[in-house]
Amino acid sequence: MKNTLKIGFLALSLGFFAASCGNAATENKADSTAAPAIEEAATPSEDTAAAPMADTTAAPAADTTATAQ
């Protein structure tokens, strides 16, 4: 009878220890009291594909439209 009580008490104390150490992960994170972060809408950017920038580091292209005389 004493062994049954000892084992029961040991199991109960280990259960409390595990719960206090956070091993019982049944906590819902949605119940937080922290305020949610405010998300700002993204500002639309200009369409840069319509007018590509000129490559200023490249050598100028040869003029192929001029006629040689």
Q: Which pLDDT score is estimated for 24?
A: 47
d(CA 10, CA 4): 10
* pTM as predicted: 0.31
Q: What is the pLDDT of residues 9-49, one digit of tens each?
A: 999 999 888 888 765 455 556 656 677 677 777 676 666 56
CA distances from 9 to 17, 21, 22 (A): 12, 18, 20
